[in-house]
Amino acid sequence: MTDDDPGPALRTAALEELLVERGLVDPAVVDGFVRTYERDVGPLNGATVVARAWTDPQFREWLLRDGTAAIASLGFTGPQGEHMVVLEQTEQVHHVVVCTLCSCYPWPVLGLPPSWYKDPAYRARVVREPRTVLAEMGLDVPPQRRIEVWDSSAEVRYLVLPRRPARTDGLTAEQLAGLVGRDAMVGVAEAVEPS
């Protein structure tokens, strides 16, 4: 199956039509959920937070000191975002986030968790052999950089503040946000260099 395969979309539409026809689902409610996760909850929110930290030193300091309040000041709040801690990538330390018990994840700033984040293999292995797992995911962390693994929980969730890529001094916050993917905010990737 390829990304161009219309099968999943057709099956989803048929299932939704059947559920609506039987009165089990209100289409307005479904549309509301879709809008919420496309516009209001998702990686773009986190990328907006990161771009603001890259362009505003006072915000960055506040974000690292009180992630919950700083993130909330941008309007990103809600369930699974009540207690946020922000971890800054540096030349000395690389942070990566996992939830070893289930899949605790900061939905307001990262949206829905990717399937690999919930996978038992990732959850177990990234704690034991983080450098190997990161390499398998395409991120080679230099040997001189220490890797710290942070275990997310129902009490605290983490957002990684990636290092700002080189050659980005003249970019706007919106352009910078476009360089930040969800995986960089979990610590399994870096922010991308501008093309």
- More confident: 159 or 19: 159
195 is a catalytic site residue: no
- Please report the pLDDT score of residue 148 as a whole number: 98
Model confidence at 20, pLDDT cuts 50, 70, 90, reads confident
Count CA within 13 A, CB hemisphere, residue 89: 23
Which of 104, 115, 152, 195 is labelled catalytic? 104
Return d(Cα 97, Cα 95) in angstroms, integer.
7
The pLDDT tens digits for 128-153 are: 999 999 999 999 999 999 999 999 99
Please check the confidence at residue 19 and state whether its pLDDT lies above 70: yes
Which of 73, 103, 152, 153 is labelled catalytic? 103
103 is a catalytic site residue: yes
Please check the confidence at residue 180 and state whether its pLDDT lies above 60: yes
Please check the confidence at residue 41 and state whether its pLDDT lies above 70: no
Return d(Cα 141, Cα 136) in angstroms, integer.
11
Model confidence at 2, pLDDT cuts 50, 70, 90, reads very low
73 is a catalytic site residue: no
| Residues 6+ away with beta carbon under 8 Å from 44 | 177
- More confident: 8 or 164: 164
- Please report the pLDDT score of residue 13 as a whole number: 79
Return d(Cα 102, Cα 174) in angstroms, integer.
33
Provide the terminal-to-terminal Cα distance of the chain, rounded to the nearest Å.
30
* The two three-digit tokens of residue 114, written as one number: 């990717």
Which of 73, 99, 152, 195 is labelled catalytic? 99
Helices (H), the chain: 7-21, 27-35, 43-55, 57-65, 67-73, 107-110, 115-118, 120-128, 130-136, 173-177, 182-186
Mean of the per-residue pLDDT values of the chain:
91
- The residue-averaged pLDDT of 10-37 equals 81
Count CA within 13 A, CB hemisphere, residue 169: 1
- Please report the pLDDT score of residue 37 as a whole number: 65
104 is a catalytic site residue: yes
Longest dimension (CA), the chain: 60
Which of 102, 115, 152, 195 is labelled catalytic? 102
- pTM beyond cutoff 0.85: no
Please check the confidence at residue 1 and state whether its pLDDT lies above 50: no
